[in-house]
Amino acid sequence: MQRYFIYLAYDGTNYHGWQIQPNGSSVQECLMKALSTFLRREVEVIGAGRTDAGVHASLMVAHFDNEEELDTLIVTDKLNRLLPPDISVFKVCRVKKDAHARFDATARTYKYYVTTTKYPFNRQYRCRVYGTLDFELMNRAAATLFDYSDFTSFSKLHTDVKTNLCRIMHAEWTQVDDTTWVFTIQADRFLRNMVRAIVGTLLEVGRGKLTVEGFRQIIEQQDRCKAGTSAPGNALFLVSVEYPRHLFLI
């Protein structure tokens, strides 16, 4: 049995997230249907993570198995022909038989975009904010994330994960242009709704409704009810998933 990694991108606007849902379409379902059509058998696809409804990915990774060795260029081409316009495959590559798209990922990076102005072509991919935000203060608050590993305060309640421990390696707001800022965050793993909850709470800091010390206290209280409202999903992008090089076969 040969295992393959699929590198893909998708616009999450029309999907109920990555994972298969009983009451709506998902990216995982679309990818499995395309693979099953091409390989003429049922195929299970495992993703590197589970993006929420409406969240996008400029780079997601998933894996599947096949008994016979495949031409990865042909698979890439066929999948792009079978998939809808809002899902595309960059490449398919051979990996070791025990490589796992989710458990072997060493880092994941998300970007969240906010804009201070109304612009029709931004509405699907930016979160519009009103008033003045203190991004310097927001970055001071974001820096406190490095001091902690338990992020229960920013996790969706009643999930099936065994631990809420994560290691955050990067968290920073940077200016894209006169009206747009982006929050980039990288960690070894993320909890359900974690990035959107962090962004929503940082926006409270930027508006002057929460101090840096208050942000720190929210983390320490380990209580989701103490944190801010989750920011909308349409402005969030999964942009990178990293793996050890030894997993890949030439």
Cα-to-chain-centroid distance, residue 204: 22
- The one catalytic residue in 11, 52, 98, 104 is 52
Question: Three-state secondary structure along the chain?
Answer: CEEEEEEEEECHHHCCCCCCECCECCHHHHHHHHHHHHHCCCCCCEECCCCCCCCEEEEEEEEEEECCCCCHHHHHHHHHHHCCCCEEEEEEEEECCCCCCCCCCCEEEEEEEEECCCCHHHCCCCEECCCCCCHHHHHHHHHHHHHCCECHHHCCCCCCCCCCECCEEEEEEEECCCCEEEEEEEECCCCCCHHHHHHHHHHHHHCCCCCHHHHHHHHHHCCHHHCCCCCCHHHEEEEEEECCHHHECC
243 is in an annotated binding site: no
Active-site annotation holds for 11: no
Give the annotated binding-site residues for substrate: 110
Active site residues: 52
Q: Binding site, residues?
A: 110
